[in-house]
Amino acid sequence: MAWGTDFIAEVYLSKLIFNNEIAVQNKIDENINEMEDAKQRIKMFVSSNPSDIIPNEWNDSPIDWLNNSINDLFEAIIKLTEENVRLYQYIEYLNNNGENKIFIDWKDLNYFYVNTTGKANTLGRDQKYLEEMPSTASKEELLELIKKYSED
């Protein structure tokens, strides 16, 4: 029997919506590629002649420009790494619970719909609908519910 520390955590994936595990893995791969690009830029800074990479407007303080640029790259790598940790936790949740469902905040979904399409939507305007909605749904169930409750 294995031993370790077991914990339950609430993880929030801000401004990210996934339909399935493959979409989550694609986002992880995208983040890994961005981190590799940042690492390559850091290597470029190390191996380049400063006069070749410093913009003309920074000629008075090239060290500041290099410092700022490298700090930005490290911050991007840290942010992407933290996001990947949350994404891996989400995949683990999906695998351990035997579910491939997404959690739904119907008010946020309606807000997202209106802001991305520019169209008014009836979804979520009636509290009765919100009370009838499940807290999780598969992609197919989600599309069916949106279709059902978006009709006037």
pLDDT in tens, 130-141: 555 555 555 566
Please choose, from the candidates 38, 31, 40, the residue with its C-alpha nearest in 3D space to the C-alpha of residue 85. 31
Q: Write out the residue range of the structural domain in which residue 137 sits.
A: 102-150
CA angle (30 as vertex; 29, 36 as ends), nearest 5: 90
Residues 108 and 143 in one domain: yes
Query: What's the rounded mean pLDDT across residues 102-116?
Result: 52
Residues 73 and 109 in one domain: no
10 assigned to some structural domain = no
| DSSP three-state, residue 144 | helix
Give the pLDDT of residue 152: 44
Token pair of 130 as six digits: 């919100």
| DSSP three-state, residue 136 | strand
Residues 48 and 80 in one domain: yes
**Cα separation, 54 vs 75, whole angstroms:** 20
pTM: 0.60
Do residues 142 and 110 lie in contact, with contact meaning Cβ atoms separated by under 8 Å?
no
Give the pLDDT of residue 80: 96
pLDDT band at residue 126, thresholds of 50, 70 and 90? very low
